[in-house]
Homo-oligomer: A and B are copies of this chain.
Amino acid sequence: MPEARSVAHVLAAHPTAADKEAYKQLATFAARPVAIVAAVQGRWDVAVTVTDFVSVSYDPPTVLVSLFGLSRIADAVVASGRFALSVLAHDQQAVADRLGEPGAPLVGLLDHIPHSRLDERAPALIDGALTWFDLRVAAVHEAATHLLVVGEVTAMRGTPRADARPLVRWRSTYESERIVPGTAG
């Protein structure tokens, strides 16, 4: 078993700054879908770019998103008990960039981003997304610096945007990918 040992980085019992930095780089080697999480906080929209979300279950339809615990989006999602997740297409990198910036404005955040809502108080759904989900918070779990927010789908885009490719983040870059059809799995 020489290969694993020769390339292993063993972390300290209390990970060092170097351990964390090394992990941060390695974590980018998993390709990530890119989405926008949106919620409503009082009169304001809160929306951020995320890559750390998964589909948890079909029964009932359940999604998980990991949010930094001290973020405004985490506050808004937990307080309102509702959020939207819009899965971005390859031609929506500008949206991902804008909502991925630190220090996004409180007012007018979505002024130049076409979006819709299911009702007046609903979180924003990004137009042109591959698909989107409107969710009710079912559970919140703390995990290190983050909150794991489990949401049950209450509504979703029934007709996916089938003419587009996914926006993918890999090795710290937004990638416009061309997909070469593989073998059906």
Contacts and interface: CB of A to CB of B under 8 A. Distances in A.
Interface of A: 1-5, 7-11, 14-15, 19-20, 22-27, 29-33, 35, 51-62, 64, 66, 87, 93, 96-97, 100, 116-118, 125, 127, 130-134, 138-139, 141, 143-146, 148, 150, 153-160, 166, 168-170, 172-185
Nearest to A57: B144
Given A29-B87, A29-B130, A66-B56, A183 B19 contact: no
Contacts of A157: 4, 7-9, 26
Copies of this chain present in the complex amount to 2
Given A57-B146, A181-B173, A182-B175, A131 B11 contact: no
Contacts of A58: 20, 23-24, 27, 145
A178 B143 CA distance: 34
